Amino acid sequence: GVMCSRPASGGGGDPYNMHAILSAALGSSTASETSDGGEKTFNVELIVDALKEAVPGLSWSRGVEKYLDSEKFLLKDKRGFLALVGGIRRGLEGGEFPLDSLMSQGVWKNMSGQLSFLAHAVSAPPEVLSFARCPRLAAPLEGLHAGKSAVGTPNHAWLCLDLLETLAKLAEGGYKANVRSLLEHPLKHCPEVLLASLAASRAEAGQLRKEICTALLPSYVASQPNSAVVLHRVWPLYREAVLAAMADLYSKDPTAMSRILDVCQEMKVLTEVLGVMPFPFALELAALAARREYLNLEKWLQDRLGSFGLPFVLACLEFLDDKTGKEKSGGEGGGAQIQLSVEVLSLFFHFLHANLSGMPVETQEALRKIQASAAVNHPQLA
């Protein structure tokens, strides 16, 4: 059922004492006790009808959130939730429950009461409660494969940005386990829509947004049937999360760079990714892009040198040392990796020699040693 605070006496500036009236309608201590002497129950329909007759001017749509956010409001079960929604809709002559105003108010003072409402609201069928009329909805994620819905669930809950931002604040307010439990269904059944909506949410969803995107995005970078749809939506909204997913994937499996390059090409973001990622990642990606003739490697290397100077030269030497060293040892100790072609190696060494005069003596010596090492497998580089 629904548990609410006892109606207060006296109305102050409220001629009908609407807080007391709504508390009575939604479950109060004036209701009869259950047969087993437990919690008190009530007949919402009878109370609502009596209220409508006694107070014809009572507004059932405005300010509902104020009356629900009372100290002892708590929905114990689905029956209580249906009674609450049904009672207010009956007061509205069958109109829609005012979920839009309820969602746009943010976090309640009574967080556990709010969570008890949201836990039922997100799983409610649309004929009972729909988020589709809430003012801040992410756009449906069209084009999903495997028969997946563009709106996630029929009631549009996981498109609602106010819902996601509220859940994020509730998680940070000490209810993380409750929020995680509430997210289990979308994580399992419509993760693509959840990702897209979180990407579109505001800073208020910060930690929740980061955690879920960090957990889910690498698998879409790695390749899933809905990768293209998800990544095209998330990239312009939350670029940092896609870049972090690429870095995560590469750190676990360097050969994944081939797939990462495919993603960059599909989304036409190769130049942007090369420009913002750390040197080791960017050099690996640039080398592979040059091998596939997607990138003018010498020009890119020269541009990077102009921007970053000696630190970039040192990063190139470390990259080449790592590649030629593993090649020499047959790849032992470093796990699987993408080998550089002799043409790409040649471009790197040509670039470095062209800029030799600006390097310290020890850097020049390091270059000679690395080139000699590379020449063991590729004599043409000597």
151-191 pLDDT, tens digit each: 999 999 999 999 999 999 999 999 999 999 999 999 999 99
List the domain range (segments joined by +) for residue 160. Answer: 60-197
Beta bridge mates, 160: 137
- Residue from 191, 203, 127 nearest 165 by CA: 203
pLDDT at 164: 97
**What is the pLDDT at residue 89?**
83
Model confidence at 95, pLDDT cuts 50, 70, 90, reads confident
Q: Tell whether 71 is covered by a domain.
A: yes
The answer as to whether 242 is a domain residue is: no
pLDDT the model gives residue 162: 96
- 280-318 pLDDT per residue, tens: 999 999 999 999 999 999 999 999 999 999 999 999 999
Question: Vertex 230, ends 226 and 236: CA angle to 5°?
Answer: 160
Model confidence pLDDT, tens digit, residues 115-159: 999 999 999 999 999 999 999 999 999 999 989 999 999 999 999
Highest mean pLDDT among 2-6, 77-81, 113-117: 113-117
Confidence category of residue 83, pLDDT binned at 50, 70, 90: confident
pLDDT for 222 equals: 95
The residues with which 137 forms a beta bridge, in sequence order, are 160
Between residues 61 and 109, which one has the greater pLDDT? 109
Does some domain include residue 174?
Answer: yes
Is the residue at 228 inside a domain? no
Residue pair 265/232 in contact by the 8 Å Cβ criterion: no
The residue count for the chain = 382
In Å, how far are 3, 7, 76, 116 from 26, measured between CA atoms? 8, 11, 13, 14
The pLDDT, as a whole number, for residue 24 is 52
Residue 188 and residue 222 in contact, taking contact as beta carbons nearer than 8 Å: no
pLDDT at 281: 97
- Identify whether 94 is part of a domain: yes
Asked if the structure places residue 100 within a domain, the reply is: yes
For residue 105, being part of any structural domain is answered with yes
Strands 74-75 and 2-3, bridge-based pairing = antiparallel
Is the predicted pLDDT of residue 62 greater than 70, yes or no?
A: no
Residue 153's closest CA among 130, 170, 133, 120?
130
Output the pLDDT for position 232: 97
pLDDT value at residue 60: 63
Residue 105 banded pLDDT, cuts 50, 70, 90: confident
Kindly report the number of other CB atoms within 10 A of residue 258's CB atom: 12
Q: Which two tokens stand for residue 150?
A: 């563009």
Average pLDDT, integer, range 29-50 = 53
Q: How many domains does the chain have?
A: 1
- Report the 10 Å Cβ neighbour count for 283: 26
- Does residue 274 belong to any structural domain of this protein? no
Q: What is the mean pLDDT of residues 204-222?
A: 93
* Entry pTM: 0.83
pLDDT, residue 35, reads: 42
